[in-house]
Structure 1
Amino acid sequence: MGHRFKKEHQAECLIKLSELLKEGFPLSEALTFLVHLMVKQKPIFVYMEQALKSGKSFDSILGICGFDQSITTRIYLAQLHGHLQEVLFSCGHQLKERRKQYQKIQQLCLYPTILLCFIIGLIIGIQQFFLPSLEDMFHQSNYENSQFTFFLIKALPVYILWSIVMCVLCFLLLLFYYQKQSPMKKARFLSKIPFIKKWIKWYYTSYFSRELAYLLGSQYGFNEVVDVLKKGNTLPLLKEFVVLVEHYMQQGQTISDVIRKLPFLSEEMALVIEHGEKISHLSMKLSVFSKDNLEKLEKDIHQKMTWIQPILFLSVGLFIVAIYIALMMPMFDMVNHVLVE
């Protein structure tokens, strides 16, 4: 545990390491220098330097230090294709952006959560203190509609609670099913969820395009790329992907044909590969295509964030108004009944 970075320090570590490599520092010296730049993380950098000298690969060291496998896979591939400084910088900014989005989601959920807690407290308070007195008044009334309305008000929180419990149970069962699936099936499953399938496709398309671009730009052929990804320290999804590619290529199909069979990768990626193979510069085209998909993803997430919070506030507000109306309806019914009599 003492050798693991906190999430908020991971991006800073990779970006500063990238800057030092750009200035010409060897990796081991850069780690030594970071001890003075990030003093609180000194024990981690000392461990990293010692592990590097003992012969451990840099990507495996980062994994031990708490970095996600999606990051360590990119570092592993970067060491092969010689773009370590660029990839460190890219990963650092990716982690930074991911943390910003996570913090935005937390802020989006904070106020509606507080309001929902207030509503729950309000319902409990009404049931404990207000409804008993109201119930006595309704029992003295012979107006059946008022009593029926009162029953709905009293039973509604119970129905809502059970609905929430059932939704949570369904979610947990779905999560259990999801965790049991292979990486490829997980990606297929996520690509079918209505609200996020577009994001999933952009993310995976950007990821696969970027890694292929780096490897092909290092003079690897497709067969060599398949071999590197299959045998190396890469994400299980990448391994499963290249095994599938290898299987179809042995049957005479191309990588473009394989991409078209996968719902979590865009059709445009297959077209870019076909076009790039014809006129060369495939790695450059894939790199530009990867950046374009990443920009689309970040832009769309940012746009969605701007209107999710107003919708949450509106939903909570309408819920509060509905509770108020539901509470006042029996009162109006009873007053109307008294006036009629």
Structure 2
Amino acid sequence: MALHKRFSLNNQKITIATQLQFLHVLQRMLSKGLTLIQSLDAMKYYAELEYTSSQILKCLEAGQHLDEAMDEAGFHHSIISYLFVVREKSNISERIEQCHQLFQQHVHYMRKFQQTVRYPLILLFIFSGLLFFIYARVIPSFQQLMFGELPMLLQAVIFLSSWLGYSIIVLIIAFSFGAVIWIFLRNNISLETKMTLYSRIPLYRSYIKRQTSFHFAALYSSLLQTGMPMKELLHYMSRQTKLPIISYYAKQMQLEYFRGRSVQGLLTTMDFLDKHLTDILSSNMDAANLAKDLAIYAEISIDTMYQRLQKRIVYIQPVFFSIIGAFIIFIYISLMSPMFELMNTM
């Protein structure tokens, strides 16, 4: 299901399957010793990759970076973010291989999530429709036969089901309304306001924190390995626009360095950086060891994030099936309770 999802391209569509194939073929070409330009030129012989590789090749010849060219071609934002983060690494083959592995892992978990929730959602809609039909058609008929009186148990079930149904409807409407407002206003909202909103959404806050920590560590490590001075490094991080939260934090750190202060106290106020990451950044170690520790942290953090996602996916089906089980009980009580009551009155 996820492999058929499409993303907008300037004049055509590009599927996730095509993106995976592109990264795989590009990595294979690079591993054979071809340059990036030679690899993209050779990929024109793949019919499904011809247009994409030609477009990226034109962008590179125009002086753009690989992440910028792939962004213009319509690749997934996670690919663009990772390639930007490791832009300064000299080994292009290693960059593409890691990017392919991460995106393949991302697609795997998205497919697994979709497969996990697909059938429970279908059953949930079916039983919801059945329950609505019973309350709209069957229960009124029983009520007429019993001269308007319904058993207390059935009244309680109807009240509980109605309360649950209306609560779900209100949540859906509120979520849809909020999503529409966010789509129209997000470009006019300041980054500080967005960060405040993110911090108030528990699950999304955790996701943003892990993503920001991973990208911060990977970018910082990549720049340190180039031998870039600290002031220039922070200036580069603050000027980039792909990762706005990291840019915001880099500007704050840059100001502290200009004032001659230590950034240790500032790091503790950065809510979207993991404590383990801030501890590493606060340690007084040389650039080589710091780059190594940050690279290790980035690798561990992305693995941990996907492991936690895997655990949460495992809990989804039991929750959905528990809800469906409750619907079945409601339906059973709704049908059997008035029948028993009617039999007792005969």
Question: What are the ranges of 5 or more consecutive residues in structure 2 without an aligned counterpart?
Answer: 1-9
Number of the residue aligned with 1:32: 41
If you compute each CA radius of gyration, which structure gives the higher value, 1 or 2? Answer: 1
Measure how far apart 1:269 and its partner are: 0.9
Number of the residue aligned with 1:41: 49
SS of structure 2 residue aligned to 1:139:
coil
Number of the residue aligned with 1:245: 253
Q: Does 1:283 align with 2:291?
A: yes
Give, as a single letter, the amino acid of the residue that structure 2 aligns with 1:275. Answer: S
Number of the residue aligned with 2:27: 18
Which digits, 9 at most, give the CA deviation of each residue in 1:164-193, with x for residues without a partner? 231123223444359634445545543543
SS of structure 2 residue aligned to 1:210:
helix
Fraction of identical pairs, as percent: 20
Aligned equivalents of 1:195, 1:56: Cα separation in 2: 36
Aligned equivalents of 1:9, 1:186: Cα separation in 2: 33
Q: How many pairs are equivalent?
A: 333
Q: Is the Cα contact below 8 Å between 1:260 and 1:270 reproduced in 2?
A: yes
| CA pair 188-30 structure 1, distance change in 2 beyond 3 A | farther
Q: Is the Cα contact below 8 Å between 1:149 and 1:330 reproduced in 2?
A: no
Q: Does 1:164 align with 2:168?
A: yes
Aligned equivalents of 1:221, 1:70: Cα separation in 2: 28
Number of the residue aligned with 1:304: 312
**115-124 or 98-107, which deviates more:** 115-124
SS of structure 1 residue aligned to 2:283:
helix
| CA pair 202-208 structure 1, distance change in 2 beyond 3 A | same
Q: Does 1:6 align with 2:10?
A: no
Q: Is the Cα contact below 8 Å between 2:27 and 2:96 reproduced in 1?
A: yes
**123-132 or 266-275, which deviates more:** 123-132
Measure how far apart 1:221 and its partner are: 2.3
For normalisation by structure 2, the TM-score amounts to 0.83
Aligned equivalents of 1:267, 1:115: Cα separation in 2: 42
Aligned equivalents of 1:297, 1:214: Cα separation in 2: 21
Q: Is the Cα contact below 8 Å between 1:12 and 1:92 reproduced in 2?
A: no
| CA pair 172-124 structure 1, distance change in 2 beyond 3 A | closer
SS of structure 1 residue aligned to 2:272:
coil
Measure how far apart 1:30 and its partner are: 0.5
Question: What are the ranges of 5 or more consecutive residues in structure 1 without an aligned counterpart?
Answer: none
**69-78 or 234-243, which deviates more:** 69-78
Give, as a single letter, the amino acid of the residue that structure 1 aligns with 2:283. Answer: H
Number of the residue aligned with 1:224: 232
Number of the residue aligned with 1:66: 74
For normalisation by structure 1, the TM-score amounts to 0.84
Measure how far apart 1:289 and its partner are: 1.0
Aligned equivalents of 1:326, 1:254: Cα separation in 2: 68
